[in-house]
Structure 1
Amino acid sequence: MAFIEKQPFKPEKRDAKKIFNKKVIIKGTFWFALITVATIAAVFFYNNTGDTLNALTHISYKYIAICFLMLIVDLMLGSWRNHIYIQKLAPKISHWVSFKANVANMFMGAVTPAHGGAGPAQIFIYTSNGVPFIDSFAVSLINMGATLIFMPLAGFVAILLMDTTEVGSLVPAMLKYGFGFFLVFLLAFLLAFWKPLWVGEMIRKIAYGLAQIFVTRKEKLTKWADNSFQSICKYQQTCSVIIQRHPLLFPLSLVITTALYMNKYCLQWVILLGLGVNANLVQVISIQILIQFMIYFAPSPGGSGFAEMFIASLFGKIVPAALLPIFTLLQRSFLLFFPALVGAYVVLNLLRKQTIKKP
């Protein structure tokens, strides 16, 4: 396979406001906050609020401090699994850029349904710092592939190790939902990577078929299909070149992805220790893997509503009722709220700088 000629190392002049749409962010943040507050409030009222407030005085803050250290590890691992590729493609890019790209990804993933804005946010941070779009997209695609491989395998191992009597009849439904979505996306990823011509031709046929129905949009549909076909081939070739030049990077990405998610899962166990709950580590990890399946492609911003509901339902089997609201709040804070706040600062600061630069 011939290597792709690299583009010049210069920032791409793209408007941040087109990527970080103000209306989308405000609307997503509003619904994310509203649904989250409503569901956590429901958990509080359902589980004896008086006892819950009394339980706050018994939190061991040394474990909460450990959680903040694990949060830093989470953010660093997330940025590092991108940076192992970026440092090969664009050596001048610092790890700080990858850190900002990662937290921007987490923020936009939190305020858009099914993480829809996460990828574009990450790609924009890189392109605005001089990484060619095609390289930024390829890195995002490859790491998405690592996640799509890790999550189903983790789910399979979890169900083997899990005591299913602890979570009742929800397990089969959650597994079908999670494995179904991940299987579809994994197949799409594999087809786009190994058989891009098949995917491209499929898109063309669908677009041409729609053009026969919507005649007035024929030209736009045909142009979109042709551009998509060329883009798929280009991205596939770029990914192949990256993996061919650096064959050890993808296995390393899988290792980092595993460490990243295991750190997230173990963090919840530390939260429980801080609340005085001596839960089984394997059960905690297994339950969270199932929850991750449910909320990863949830239609609400950041999986809000879905996450709180399933945390209360599944962890309610091992966490005392009075502690459940506190655990739910702390779990969501460390895994999503705090990283999203860091990402919000990065995104808003970027938008402010671009506004100042304009005459």
Structure 2
Amino acid sequence: MNKKLLLRLTVLFAFVLLISAAVIYFTFDIRALDYLTLFEPRCILLALGCLAVGLLFDGLRLLTLASITDGQLTLKQVVNVVLSNYFLALVTPGASGGAIAQVMFMRKAGVPVAKSTVVVLVRTIMSISFLILLVPVVLHSDSDIVKWMPASVLTVVSVAFISLPVIAVLLMRSRYPERIIFWFTRKFSYTTRRNCYIWYQQFKHAVIVMGRHPLMVLRAFVESGLSLLFIYATVPAYFAGLNINFDLVQVMGRMVLLNLVLYFSPTPGGSGIAEAGFVVLFSNILPEGVEGIMAVLWRFTAEYLPFLLGAFVTIRAFGSDVLNMASVKSKTKPGKNAPSQ
């Protein structure tokens, strides 16, 4: 195996193991053993089933978006694209490799780089937009989270979150985004400024493509939401195994908030931040001492298991030199990979 890849996997494995051990150690309580002995193993199958359905809808979303750009993908190619995202996102800084892996597999399937870039960008936009639109619902339904927030502030926050996607679309119709990018990057290097501008052009192009196919976009948006919700449902599946009373809507709402934060996490796959956030959000729902174990179970099921599957399909397709290939892709001049207007 390539030494660079082996080293990266070793460091990642050690980091994940250390984080998981620390979370369990600092949250474990001897009374948790009573609940763990009553844990129903069949709920593990339920959690895996939720994950499988979530990945299925993720694949359906990819097929829908590919059809919008006139791209054709087989079932095997869809599986490769979805799983490879988990693998390279965890072994590259800032999860940047996830998008590169998807483009690599779609290009291998015959989808032009310009079209695959649009598909990848739209997938990310849809996921974040879906979570943003759910934030007001979560805030209004979870009194424990917003009990310190006045009703007027809650209303303003809710309106702001709902308005964000609309404002973004309206701004695309003006020259203000270019001016803002120019002003914020005026002291950066030429390469950085150019990359920021090209990223914005790709984003704008993705919005334009979505606007031409509203019904297909709506379908992909619904598939995106179902994918996320089923993957998050692995958590209440494990909670059910403890035979405790909990509010399903409340648990899913807090998973929405946590995963929205993880989209902007600087650590690999949100490791460390995800576990800490899980403990904070669910400490008042779970019995004392088991929140750390549940956090690790959730992370293994929803993140590390797809990562292992993604590692298998990615290394099998591109070999152990895949990290160098991804690095070359990321350093390719943006102008060559940018979607044409």
Q: TM-score by structure 2 length?
A: 0.77
CA offset digits 1:298-330 (Å, max 9, x no partner): 111111111111111221111112322321121
Partner residue, 1:46: 26
CA offset digits 1:40-95 (Å, max 9, x no partner): 32332234465445644322122211111111111111121111121343454213
Deviation at 1:210, TM superposition (A): 4.8
Structure 2 unaligned regions, length at least 5:
323-341
Deviation at 1:142, TM superposition (A): 1.9
Partner residue, 1:292: 259
CA offset digits 1:239-258 (Å, max 9, x no partner): 524642x3311111221122
Q: Residue 169 and residue 99 in structure 1: after superposition, are their counterparts in 2 closer, same or farther (change >3 A)? A: farther
Q: In structure 2, which of residues 296, 310, 326 is the aligned counterpart of residue 343 of structure 1?
A: 310
Partner residue, 1:133: 113
Whether the aligned pair in 2 keeps the contact of 1:32 and 1:304 (CA below 8 Å) is no
Q: Residue 152 and residue 208 in structure 1: after superposition, are their counterparts in 2 closer, same or farther (change >3 A)? A: closer
Whether the aligned pair in 1 keeps the contact of 2:5 and 2:321 (CA below 8 Å) is no
**Any idea what SS the aligned residue of 1:333 has?**
helix
Structure 1 vs Structure 2 CA RMSD:
3.6
Q: Residue 192 and residue 22 in structure 1: after superposition, are their counterparts in 2 closer, same or farther (change >3 A)? A: farther
Deviation at 1:143, TM superposition (A): 2.2
Deviation at 1:109, TM superposition (A): 2.2
Partner residue, 2:335: none
Q: In structure 2, which of residues 104, 115, 127 is the aligned counterpart of residue 124 of structure 1?
A: 104
- The answer as to 2:69 corresponding to 1:102 is no
- The answer as to 2:283 corresponding to 1:303 is no
Whether the aligned pair in 1 keeps the contact of 2:5 and 2:320 (CA below 8 Å) is no
Deviation at 1:275, TM superposition (A): 1.9
Q: In structure 1, which of residues 332, 337, 340 is the aligned counterpart of residue 299 of structure 2?
A: 332
Q: Map 1:1-359 onto structure 2 (within 5 A).
A: 23=4, 26-27=7-8, 29-30=9-10, 32-48=12-28, 50-52=30-32, 55-90=35-70, 92-164=72-144, 190=169, 193-195=172-174, 198-200=176-178, 203=181, 210=188, 221=190, 233=201, 236-237=204-205, 240-241=208-209, 243-244=211-212, 246-352=213-319
Whether the aligned pair in 2 keeps the contact of 1:113 and 1:303 (CA below 8 Å) is no
AA at the equivalent of 2:244? V
For 1:25 and 1:202, how far apart are their aligned partners in 2? 42
Whether the aligned pair in 2 keeps the contact of 1:81 and 1:257 (CA below 8 Å) is yes
Deviation at 1:39, TM superposition (A): 3.2
For 2:305 and 2:75, how far apart are their aligned partners in 1? 20
Structure 1 unaligned regions, length at least 5:
1-20, 212-220
For 2:4 and 2:167, how far apart are their aligned partners in 1? 31
For 1:259 and 1:82, how far apart are their aligned partners in 2? 13
Whether the aligned pair in 2 keeps the contact of 1:268 and 1:331 (CA below 8 Å) is yes
Worse-matched range after superposition: 105-114 or 61-70: 105-114
**Any idea what SS the aligned residue of 2:79 has?**
helix
Deviation at 1:148, TM superposition (A): 2.8
AA at the equivalent of 1:65? L
Whether the aligned pair in 1 keeps the contact of 2:48 and 2:234 (CA below 8 Å) is no
Q: Residue 346 and residue 156 in structure 1: after superposition, are their counterparts in 2 closer, same or farther (change >3 A)? A: same
Q: TM-score by structure 1 length?
A: 0.73
Partner residue, 2:337: none
CA offset digits 1:4-53 (Å, max 9, x no partner): xxxxxxxxxxxxxxxxx9747843x4554344333332332234465445
Whether the aligned pair in 1 keeps the contact of 2:65 and 2:220 (CA below 8 Å) is no
Whether the aligned pair in 1 keeps the contact of 2:118 and 2:205 (CA below 8 Å) is no
- Tell me how many residue pairs correspond in the alignment: 313
Q: Residue 323 and residue 227 in structure 1: after superposition, are their counterparts in 2 closer, same or farther (change >3 A)? A: closer
AA at the equivalent of 1:346? V
Whether the aligned pair in 1 keeps the contact of 2:68 and 2:216 (CA below 8 Å) is no
Worse-matched range after superposition: 101-110 or 201-210: 201-210
For 2:198 and 2:277, how far apart are their aligned partners in 1? 42
Whether the aligned pair in 2 keeps the contact of 1:71 and 1:334 (CA below 8 Å) is yes
For 2:215 and 2:5, how far apart are their aligned partners in 1? 38
AA at the equivalent of 1:338? L
**Any idea what SS the aligned residue of 2:228 has?**
helix
Deviation at 1:297, TM superposition (A): 0.8
Q: Residue 234 and residue 107 in structure 1: after superposition, are their counterparts in 2 closer, same or farther (change >3 A)? A: closer
**Any idea what SS the aligned residue of 1:116 has?**
helix
Give the structure with higher Rg (CA): 1
Q: Whose RCO is larger (CA < 8 A, sep 6+)?
A: 2
AA at the equivalent of 2:224? T
